[in-house]
Amino acid sequence: MKRIGMGIVGAGFVGPHHVDAVRRLGYVDVVAIAGSSEATARKKADALGVSKAYASYEALLDDPDIQVVHNATPNYLHFPVNAAAIAKGKHVVSDKPLAMTAAEAKTLVEQAKKAGIINAVTFNYRGNPLVQQARHLIARGDLGTPTFVHGHYLQDWLLKDTDYSWRLEPDKGGASSALGDIGSHWCDLAQHVSGLTITEVLADITTTIKQRKRPTGSREAFAAAGKDESFELVDIKVEDLASVLVRFDNGAKGAFSVGQVCAGHKNDVVVEVCGSKTSLKWRQEHQNELWFGHRDAPNQILQKDPSLMDAEVRGYAHLPGGHQEAWADAFCNLMRDIYGFIAAGKKPTDAHPPAFATFEDGYRANTIVEAILTSAKNGSVWTPVRY
């Protein structure tokens, strides 16, 4: 099999998972890492066993050995890095959200289309075997008509006023914090599983912690404050909690909450679809189980087991029943769909495998988040999502 060269810009929390996932495919070479300085890039490259380290993304983009560029930088760099990679004719795997605004995301969709490059966004929950099983069953009609899609994405890593991240600074994270960061995942997942499109939203959004202690030194993503760390007090303008009512294109209703200040919830993504016959629920923190709710029979739990999954989606599970698969395996499934597409020489207009979300999907998530912010700004009114 022809080998594919990959380069990654930004290797903080999630970057190393990109590296790990593509290495597991067996035919991808991690050629280089670009960081914000030569020293940080070199340190990361050494730690991950990557030979080349670049002090800028521009230098990485000039490397002829790299065909696919991964963008795992903070949100404000998504647009410039993605746009520059497209201009160099590289395929791009961007972390979410695709851009800071829907307008920027739309520009990237158009630029990618014009350049004819393969483009992907890491909505990685699509890669979970039982997410694909759920999607398959709903598309086949096993639930009947979906009538209600609900759930949440809750975390607790911003619960204390000493918790801090660039995600809370609008110039680095965007006009939205929790919604852009994890609400975008929920919206993509809910639409992907149900097969429906969110058309209208009504939102109530809150900043529960209005002032936070920003560390004056540097700190790893998601890390708690150190004992002797020094701080400065900053006003927080973006939401850390949100509840949203949604309407879907088939007339189904929905609701979800997003929060990063909810104690005990670590990475608690839940999506439930209630259909006219049966309900189905998937929970990320119990991702090897799929719950089915029945009216006239006992409820059921399907354990992740390739032999119990449908043939069309069985390939997303790689271990027998009882052998748990998890976040990093789902992330690898995503890369398997993306790189399989590239390796097969497919064109961007060809049908994509299901775990492979495109820039178009990233744009749609950006557009939903903007509609949610508009709804809240206008006093929590129903607001159309204008894709």
Ligand X SMILES: NC(=O)c1ccc[n+]([C@@H]2O[C@H](COP(=O)([O-])OP(=O)(O)OC[C@H]3O[C@@H](n4cnc5c(N)ncnc54)[C@H](O)[C@@H]3O)[C@@H](O)[C@H]2O)c1
Q: Which residues bind ligand X (CB under 6 A)?
A: 9-15, 34-36, 40, 57, 72-75, 77, 95-96, 122, 124, 181, 221
Nearest residue (CB) to ligand X, 35 versus 254? 35
H/E run at residue 214: strand 211-215
- Phi and psi of 45, rounded to 5°? -60, -45
Q: How far, in Å, CA of 165 to CA of 173, rounded?
A: 9
Min dist. Cβ of residue 40 to ligand X (A): 6
Min dist. Cβ of residue 311 to ligand X (A): 28
Q: Which amino acid is at 86?
A: I
Nearest residue (CB) to ligand X, 102 versus 137? 102
Min dist. Cβ of residue 45 to ligand X (A): 12
Min dist. Cβ of residue 143 to ligand X (A): 27
Min dist. Cβ of residue 280 to ligand X (A): 23
Min dist. Cβ of residue 186 to ligand X (A): 12
Structure-token pair, residue 57: 């993304």
**Residue 216 CB burial class (10 angstroms; 0-12, 13-18, ≥19):** exposed
H/E run at residue 199: strand 198-206
3-class DSSP state for residue 188?
helix
Min dist. Cβ of residue 11 to ligand X (A): 5
Min dist. Cβ of residue 387 to ligand X (A): 21
Structure-token pair, residue 72: 């795992």
How does 141-150 read in b/e, with b if 16+ C-beta sit within 10 Å? Answer: eebeebbebb
Nearest residue (CB) to ligand X, 48 versus 302? 48
Q: Of 20, 19, 21, give the one whose Cα is nearest residue 32.
A: 19
Nearest residue (CB) to ligand X, 34 versus 274? 34
Nearest residue (CB) to ligand X, 282 versus 292? 282
Nearest residue (CB) to ligand X, 308 versus 326? 326
* Strand 91-94 to 119-121 pairing: parallel
201 pairs with which residues across the strands?
Answer: 246, 383
165 backbone φψ class: left, alpha, beta (φ>0; ψ -120 to 50): beta
With CB atoms as reference, the residue minimizing the distance to ligand X is: 12
Nearest residue (CB) to ligand X, 90 versus 96? 96
Alpha helices in 14-101 (DSSP H): 15-23, 38-48, 57-61, 78-87
Residues 6+ apart with CB under 8 A from 261: 156, 158, 159, 208, 209, 240, 241
Nearest residue (CB) to ligand X, 5 versus 12? 12
3-class DSSP state for residue 37?
coil
Query: Percent helix, strand and coil across the chain, each rounded to 5?
Result: 35, 25, 40
Nearest residue (CB) to ligand X, 19 versus 137? 19
Min dist. Cβ of residue 103 to ligand X (A): 18
